[in-house]
Amino acid sequence: MTGHGNPPPEGFPGGADDEYRSTVFDESFVRAARLQEFSARERLADHEHPVRALPSGPLRGLPWQGLVLTLLIVMAFGAAVYLGARAPQEPVEPPPGRQVMHSTVVPLAPRGQVPGGAPERLFEHSPAAEFYDGASGVSLPPARDTAHFAESQVLAALTVAKEYLVESSVNPEVLTGSTERPVRILLDPDQHPQFDRSLREPADDGRHAATGWLVRFDPERTALTGEGVRVRGTMEYRETDAAALEVHTDHVFVYAVRPAEGGTDAGAGASLFTVRRELLLRFDREDLRDHHLTVERSTVRAGPMECTARPHDVLVPLTAGQRAGNDRPADTDPYARDGGAPVCGTLDPGALPTP
């Protein structure tokens, strides 16, 4: 019978084979040990400390090359973020495509003197006599469903198109340059960079005319009389494909204006200024959901105005008693591949009020 303190013979249950079978002291186990037993000679010299602690941390096992590489990557990433945050952010415009607005703005110069008088009489004796006042002049055609769009979606597109026309052509705060936000919030966000640059740095390049997006006057030179805007026009729609609707608008806006206070002709009477806007607007399903639109093309003809005016920036009407003179558009270089070609037209006398 075996004693309680001795291990059972090998081969019996609980013997040495069973007790130590699961314990394997391989090389990795030994190298990973945190304590090391003193040798016999060391134990004779030090009776109180039979073991020593081994160094821990990256000194054993973790390669220094990996640590250095990780540190360098973190430093490089931090430097890139810092320099990117400090670098000036230029507005990035979308690549050429359907989301880019193309515009043409044509000043119309009168043959003779611009007639003036009281706004009511000017409207009464002009082609705008039967026009509607303000937003009521922007009427919607009957909305019907198309092959891929329901009647409600067509109506939504027409409604946003009308809102854009009213905000960009009738809103007094937009007309005087006080704000452009009511127009901007209706645009697809993809067009915001182009729109912002057009208003900040207008250019006659066919893409960045501020007056291609909206009607605006220079408040230091031109004042509205407060008689409102007379409007008449048409609106049509069609389905371009299964993903988009297209709305074409063609409206004439007539404004009663006078020279701004403090100008040399501030005491002159009012005169009429006519702007014809033709817009091609596009609506995809995301635009319909978000109450947005995309302006694809804008054609503007406005007068009476001098040919040498900068109509891509602000519209500068010739007011009562003024003449266009013999000015001509700026020179055009047919060899230059950049920039747009200056365009000017002659205003038909029938478009002006009769004396």
Tens-digit pLDDT string for the chain (355 aa): 444 555 555 554 555 555 555 555 555 555 555 556 666 666 666 656 666 655 555 445 456 666 777 777 878 777 766 665 554 444 445 554 458 999 999 999 999 999 999 999 999 999 999 999 999 999 999 999 999 999 999 999 999 999 999 999 999 999 999 999 999 999 999 999 999 999 999 999 999 999 999 999 999 999 999 899 999 999 999 999 999 999 999 999 999 999 997 544 444 589 999 999 999 999 999 999 999 999 999 999 999 999 988 899 999 999 999 998 776 666 666 776 665 556 888 999 999 998 6
Any idea where the domains of the chain sit in the sequence? Answer: 25-54, 102-324+342-351
Considering only the C-alpha atoms of the chain, give the largest distance between any 2 of them, rounded to a whole number of Å: 139
Q: Where are the beta strands (DSSP E) in 67-146?
A: 102-109, 132-133
Amino acid identity at 299: T
Residue 343 to residue 104: CA distance in whole angstroms: 9
CA angle 33, 38, 41 (to 5 degrees): 160
Tokens 């044509």 locate to 106
Beta-ladder partners of 83: none
Identify which of 233, 226, 320 has the alpha carbon closest to the alpha carbon of residue 272. 320
Element (H, E) at 232: strand 222-241
Residues 6+ apart with CB under 8 A from 248: 235, 236, 237, 278, 279, 280, 281
Residue 317 to residue 321: CA distance in whole angstroms: 12
Q: For 28, how many CA atoms within 13 A lie in the half-sphere containing its CB?
A: 1
Q: Report how far apart, in Å, the C-alpha atoms of 280 and of each of 26, 76, 119, 154, 165 are.
A: 79, 48, 32, 15, 12
Residue 36 to residue 51: CA distance in whole angstroms: 5
Tokens 């043409």 locate to 104
**The pLDDT of residue 59:** 46
Burial of 280 (0-12, 13-18, 19+ CB in 10 A): middle
Tell if the pTM clears 0.85, that is, is over it: no
Identify which of 59, 61, 37 has the alpha carbon closest to the alpha carbon of residue 49. 37
CB 206 within 8 A of CB 221: no
Tokens 């205003």 locate to 347
Structure tokens at 118: 């009281």
